[in-house]
């Protein structure tokens, strides 16, 4: 028992701090001019959230492997049929465990630093109350997601962070490109979200009665019970194909949120939002939620081997695929965005290979060095007013702090020891490598991930040299660069320190406890296979395979050196005419034409179907109805003519009618009588 355990039950307070900021700033922000339109209120409350969040994280380190669930019933649905003979409960609660504690530290620390940085970065913008209210709401939802103790609550906050991301990408909504990017982000992730929802249905319905007692359904479908997964015990009667599908649906949801191939297209366009938003939402926290989903699923529910291969394939392929596109980007933020996609691929890869906590470790370090890179880029953009790398140059002379910060971030990202990225990326590669014997199918994806190490070193240092090296800006029209105010410099310094140290934490025992879940990693799938996946988790983090480390460092260093050879003097040159690289470059700049393809599907294919449906609606369905209506109208028109108003006409009708009836009776009468059985 640690001294801070009493805090675990109060974890729900953490999201309430930014929620309070949301309400205060959202309702009264325009009256808070003295507080920079609510900015300082949001900063103060996110600081409070950080203090409590980090204390909870430390508490979890001091009480290794404890699982504390605090929940309240959201709604109870009695239902005597189907898979829910006892009905089911949906609960809202907080689960403090090693994974969520790790994630909580990331979210609250980066959240606070970005909030502070915003005071300086957003100073000149309009709509500050909206900005701080939306950012606070995001923080609330993100912390809620991290602490979720069941899949439904997870999904609920998952959608809320998505909508906050939608609003913040579209912060400059007057710009058509921003409005379009916001819509694109929402829709692409929505594709993943509905599949995620299907996965939730499958889990809920399939395992409603599992777990003993009144079953999982009555207990609110919680992840954990006591110090282990709720469904950890052997589940009988579960069909493996169904479980595989559910796992794939989780992967689809994660691919949408974490921008993995083929749902990655939205993330580079999301750079339309303010750079602070890119740092917090689209680098450190929200996009990592997909990885977190996979981690939570693998720990508490488990993946089947087929799922694992699919996850490894998606993650491994994405590392390389995204890195290639980063290589040619002229926009500093987009370079980092593609890098984020690629790095998320490493995390997905590790989780897929069965090394959940290794993936989470990379998530942890990545959050810091990637937020650092974005904030440093923001500092540059703040100073020179452009994102075009080819217009910048020579900034190192005027922006010492930013220069060093970007360098630290770039070294960490490239995986140069002893920076944080080295340790976590090395762990990812070593973990997957250790599985290659048992799973030869992982080989191609391992090699792609290894290749991406070279590209990473190259593209980030290309951006670094283009922005900071050389003598002067290549575009003479740029304003003279200057460093930002202290509120911008402090987060850079703090994050730089973390980008150096976060990897070394793994050697400190209290922190290392977070990376070792207190139960055998498992859930349903391993139980079904009779496999304890926990056996896969390497007992020691840090360098385990020196030869592999040497290869990866050599690759990263090679990338950095190549960048230095090509761009180190800050000079820019065009590709020679007819160079074989030109079509490749065009392919990469056009993002493999996937965005064009998706736009075609959305704007041409689906919209054409909708237009055709509308046509059918108006002319066939409604047309038929109007046709029937017209027939009746014409019939009544015809019948109306016999109403002449002339008495002799009517007399003629009456006489005709009577004669007709008589004739009818005469001929049909006997038949009717017979038919009725009389006569």
Per CB under 8 A, the segment of 183-191, 494-502, 587-595, 649-657 that binds other proteins is 183-191
Binder to other proteins among 112, 138, 157, 519 (CB under 8 A)?
A: 157
Rounded to a whole number of angstroms, the minimum distance from the CB of residue 207 to other proteins is: 13
Taking the complex as a whole, how short is the minimal distance between the CB of residue 592 and other proteins, in angstroms? 23
| Closer Cβ to other proteins, 471 or 614, answer by number | 614
Nearer to other proteins, 72 or 579 (CB): 72
Site residues for other proteins, window 520-549 (CB under 8 A)?
Answer: none
> Which helix H or strand E contains 192, and what residues bound it?
helix 176-206
User: Measured between alpha carbons, how far is residue 271 from residues 17, 110, 236, 432, 625 in Å?
Assistant: 27, 18, 47, 31, 50
Rounded (5°) CA angle 105-219-77: 115
Member of 59, 170, 302, 345 binding other proteins (CB under 8 A): 170
CA distance 589 to 406: 24
What residues contact residue 627 under an 8 Å CB cut-off, 6+ apart?
A: none
Name which of 198 and 407 has its Cβ closer to other proteins.
Answer: 198
Dihedral of CA atoms 471, 475, 480, 485 in degrees, nearest 10, equals -100
Contact in structure between 206 and 304 (CB atoms under 8 Å) = no
207's tokens = 């395992």
Q: How many residues bind other proteins (CB under 8 A)?
A: 56
Of 239 and 643, nearer to other proteins (C-beta) is 239
**How near is the Cβ of 179 to other proteins at its closest, in Å?**
4
Among positions 175, 397, 472, 585, the unique one binding other proteins when judged by CB under 8 A: 175
Candidates 243, 252, 70; CA nearest to 148 is: 70
Name which of 169 and 481 has its Cβ closer to other proteins: 169
Nearer to other proteins, 471 or 622 (CB): 622
> At residue 171, what are phi and psi to the nearest 5 degrees?
-60, -45
Q: Which of 607, 619, 650, 653 binds other proteins (CB under 8 A)?
A: 607
From 175-183, 465-473, 572-580, 589-597, give the range in contact with other proteins by CB under 8 A: 175-183
The nearest distance, CB 265 to other proteins, in angstroms, is 15
Cα–Cα distance measured from residue 232 to residue 523, given in angstroms and rounded to the nearest whole number: 4
544 burial class (0-12, 13-18, 19+ CB within 10 angstroms)? middle
Alpha-carbon distances, residue 156 vs 84, 148, 162, 244 (angstroms): 22, 9, 10, 23
Taking the complex as a whole, the smallest distance from the CB of residue 287 to other proteins amounts, in Å, to 19
Q: How far is the CB of 194 from other proteins (least distance, A)?
A: 4
Q: How many CB atoms lie within 10 A of CB 380?
A: 26
Closest by alpha carbon to 145, among 277, 358, 287, 9?
287
| Residue 507 CB, nearest approach to other proteins (Å) | 41
Of 166 and 442, nearer to other proteins (C-beta) is: 166
Cβ proximity to other proteins, 69 vs 159, nearer residue? 159
User: CB-wise, 173 or 564, nearer to other proteins?
Assistant: 173
Which CB atom, from 610 or from 663, has the smaller least distance to other proteins?
Answer: 610
In angstroms, the CA 138 to CA 116 distance is 15
4 binds other proteins (CB under 8 A): no
**Inter-residue contact 537 to 521 (CB < 8 Å):** yes
**In whole angstroms, what is the distance from residue 296 CA to residue 11 CA?**
18
Least Å distance, CB 75 to other proteins, is: 4
Cβ atoms 402, 438 nearer than 8 A: no
Q: Which residues contact 115 (CB under 8 A, 6 or more apart)?
A: 39, 42, 43, 46, 132, 135, 139
Residue nearer to other proteins on the CB measure, 174 or 577 = 174
DSSP letter assigned to residue 331: B
Binding residue for other proteins, selected from 95, 96, 142, 178, defined by CB under 8 A: 178
- Alpha helices, H only, 385-439: 400-414, 420-435
Q: Does 611 bind other proteins (CB under 8 A)?
A: yes
Query: Considering beta carbons, is residue 177 or 674 the nearer one to other proteins?
Result: 177
Contact string (CB under 8 A) for other proteins, positions 195-234, x = contact: x-xx--xx-xx-----------------------------
CB nearer to other proteins: give 475 or 617. Answer: 617
163 binds other proteins (CB under 8 A): yes
CB of 617 to other proteins, least distance (A): 5
Output the smallest distance, CB 214 to other proteins, in A.
13
Q: How many CA atoms lie within 13 A of 296 on its CB side?
A: 30
Cβ closest to other proteins, residue 179 vs residue 500: 179
By beta-carbon proximity to other proteins, the closer residue of 26 and 485 is: 26
564 binds other proteins (CB under 8 A): no
Of positions 20, 44, 55, 156, contacts other proteins by CB under 8 A: 156
Q: Is residue 606 a contact residue for other proteins (CB under 8 A)?
A: yes
Query: Judged by CB under 8 A, which of 160, 309, 504, 512 binds other proteins?
Result: 160
Q: Tell me the two tokens of residue 589.
A: 């700049």
CA distance 486 to 47: 17
Task: Report, in angstroms and rounded to the nearest whole number, the Rg of the chain calculated over CA atoms.
Answer: 32
Segment contacting other proteins by CB under 8 A, of 298-306, 368-376, 551-559, 620-628: 620-628
State the Cα–Cα distance between residues 114 and 135, nearest whole angstrom: 10
Place of tokens 């110090």: 227
End-to-end CA, the chain = 103
Report in angstroms the alpha-carbon separations of 563 from 52, 340, 366, 400: 43, 19, 22, 21
Q: What binding mask, one character per residue, do residues 65-104 give for other proteins by CB under 8 A, x or -?
A: --------xxxxxxxxxxxx--x--x--------------
CA distance 310 to 650: 84
The correct pick among 123, 190, 398, 571 for binding other proteins (CB under 8 A) is 190
- Nearer Cβ to other proteins, position 613 or 668? 613
Burial 151-179 (b: 16+ CB within 10 A, else e): bbbbbbbbbbbbebbbbbbbbbeeeeebe
- Segment near other proteins (CB under 8 A), from 158-166, 222-230, 337-345, 486-494? 158-166
33 token code pair:
């001019």
Q: Would you tell me the crossing angle of helices 240-257 and 151-169 to the nearest 10 degrees?
A: 20
Query: CB of residue 184 vs other proteins: minimum separation in angstroms?
Result: 9
Q: Which residues lie below 8 Å from residue 579, measured CB to CB, with a gap of 6+?
A: none
User: Which residues would be at the binding site for other proteins (CB under 8 A)?
Assistant: 73-84, 87, 90, 152, 155-157, 159-160, 163, 166, 170, 173-176, 178-180, 182-183, 186-187, 190-191, 194-195, 197-198, 201-202, 204-205, 602, 606-607, 609-611, 613-614, 617, 621-622, 625
């Amino acid at each position: 028992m640690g001294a801070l355990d009493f805090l675990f039950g109060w974890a729900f307070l953490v999201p309430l701090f930014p929620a309070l900021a949301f309400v205060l700033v959202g309702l009264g922000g325009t009256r808070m001019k003295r507080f920079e339109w609510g900015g300082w209120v949001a900063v103060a409350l996110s600081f409070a959230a950080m203090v409590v969040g980090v204390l909870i994280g430390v508490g979890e380190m001091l009480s290794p492997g404890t699982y504390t669930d605090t929940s309240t019933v959201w709604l109870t649905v009695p239902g005597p049929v189907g898979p829910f003979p006892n009905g089911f409960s949906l609960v809202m609660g907080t689960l403090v465990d090693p994974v969520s504690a790790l994630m909580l530290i990331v979210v609250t620390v980066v959240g606070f630093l970005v909030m502070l940085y915003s005071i300086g970065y957003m100073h000149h913008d309009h709509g500050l109350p909206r900005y701080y209210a939306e950012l606070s709401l995001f923080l609330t939802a993100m912390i809620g997601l991290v602490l979720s103790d069941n899949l439904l609550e997870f999904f609920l906050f998952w959608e809320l962070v998505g909508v906050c991301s939608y609003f913040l990408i579209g912060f400059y909504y007057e710009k058509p490109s921003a409005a379009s990017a916001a819509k694109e982000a929402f829709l692409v992730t929505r594709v993943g979200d509905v599949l995620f929802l299907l996965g939730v249905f499958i889990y809920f319905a399939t395992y409603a009665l599992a777990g003993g007692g009144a079953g999982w359904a009555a207990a609110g479908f919680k992840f954990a019970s006591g110090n282990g997964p709720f469904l950890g015990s052997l589940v009988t009667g579960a069909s493996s194909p169904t479980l595989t599908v559910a796992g794939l649906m989780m992967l689809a949801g994660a691919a949408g949120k974490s921008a993995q191939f083929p749902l990655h297209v939205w993330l580079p366009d999301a750079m339309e939002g303010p750079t602070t938003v890119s740092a917090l939402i689209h680098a450190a926290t929200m996009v990592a939620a997909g990885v977190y989903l996979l981690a939570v699923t693998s720990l508490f529910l488990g993946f089947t081997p087929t799922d694992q291969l699919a996850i490894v394939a998606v993650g491994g392929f994405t590392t390389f695929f995204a890195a290639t596109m980063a290589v040619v980007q002229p926009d500093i933020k987009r370079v980092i965005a593609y890098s984020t996609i690629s790095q998320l691929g490493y995390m997905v890869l590790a989780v897929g290979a069965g090394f959940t906590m290794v993936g989470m470790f990379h998530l942890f370090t990545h959050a810091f060095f990637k937020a650092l890179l974005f904030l440093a880029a923001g500092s540059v953009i703040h100073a020179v007013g452009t994102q075009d790398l080819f217009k910048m140059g020579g900034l190192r002379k005027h922006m010492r702090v930013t220069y060093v910060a970007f360098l630290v971030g770039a070294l960490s990202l490239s995986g140069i020891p002893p920076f944080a990225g080295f340790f976590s990326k090395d762990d990812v590669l070593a973990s997957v490598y250790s599985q290659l014997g048992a799973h030869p199918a992982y080989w191609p994806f391992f090699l792609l991930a290894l290749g991406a190490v070279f590209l990473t070193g190259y593209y980030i240092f290309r951006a670094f040299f283009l922005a900071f090296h050389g003598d002067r800006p290549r575009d003479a029209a740029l304003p003279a660069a200057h460093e930002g105010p202290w509120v911008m410099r402090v987060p850079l310094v703090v994050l730089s320190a973390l980008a150096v140290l976060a990897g070394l934490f793994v050697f400190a025992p209290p922190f290392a406890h977070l990376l070792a879940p207190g139960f055998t990693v498992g859930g349903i799938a391993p139980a079904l296979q009779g496999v304890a996946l926990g056996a896969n988790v390497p007992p020691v983090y840090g360098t385990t395979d020196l030869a592999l480390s040497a290869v990866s460092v050599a690759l990263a260093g090679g990338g950095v050196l190549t960048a230095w050879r090509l761009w180190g003097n800050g000079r820019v040159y065009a590709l020679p005419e007819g160079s074989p690289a030109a079509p490749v470059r065009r392919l990469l700049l056009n993002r493999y034409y996937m965005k064009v393809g998706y736009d075609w599907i959305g704007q041409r294919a689906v919209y054409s179907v909708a237009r055709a449906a509308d046509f059918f609606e108006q002319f066939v369905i409604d047309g038929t109805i109007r046709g029937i209506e017209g027939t009746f109208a014409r019939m009544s028109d015809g019948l109306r003519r016999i109403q002449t108003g002339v008495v002799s006409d009517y007399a003629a009708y009456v006489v005709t009618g009577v004669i007709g009836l008589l004739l009818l009776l005469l001929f049909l009468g006997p038949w009717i009588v017979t038919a009725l059985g009389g006569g």
